Amino acid sequence: MYYIAEVDKDICASKNCHLCTQYCPESNCINYSEEDKSAYVSVDRCKACEICVYICSDIAKNDAIKMKWIDDLNEGFVIKKSGVVLR
Ligand code: SF4
Ligand code: SF4
């Protein structure tokens, strides 16, 4: 298929930041887990536009999001419930 945005949870959790979640043009695609204190991407909704990478790296200066080939995602092709806070 194609590349997907992946959040490095360790970096994100250390930043106390929600910025990328406000800019993804795809609804319910990047959400924020209060339990993990990290943003996460719903793999099935990501369109690989890379806006979140720009926001995290160039605006927030946090470098927590990278584009990854879909077969190489750390958690695999896990479809997370969109619009739901993960527990
Ligand atoms: S912009 Fe980066 S650091 Fe901020 S919430 Fe998104 S992934 Fe985390
Ligand atoms: S690459 Fe685009 S569609 Fe995918 S999570 Fe980032 S902003 Fe959303």
pLDDT in tens, 15-72: 999 999 999 999 989 999 999 999 999 998 999 999 999 999 999 999 999 999 988 9
Question: Phi and psi for 58 in degrees, rounded to 5?
Answer: -90, -30
Nearest CA to ligand 2 atom 5: 46
| Mutate-to-test residue for ligand 2 from 30, 42, 57, 62, highest number of ligand atoms within 8 A of CB | 30
Is residue 15 a contact partner of residue 60, using CB atoms and an 8 Å limit? yes
Residue spans of the domains in the chain: they are 3-72
67 Cβ below 6 A of ligand 2: no
Q: How confident is the model at residue 2 (pLDDT cuts 50, 70, 90)?
A: confident
CATH fold label, 3-72: Alpha-Beta Plaits (3.30.70)
pTM for the whole structure: 0.88
Separation of alpha carbons 31 and 84, rounded Å: 8
Distance of CA 42 from the midpoint of ligand 1 (Å): 15
Separation of alpha carbons 34 and 65, rounded Å: 18
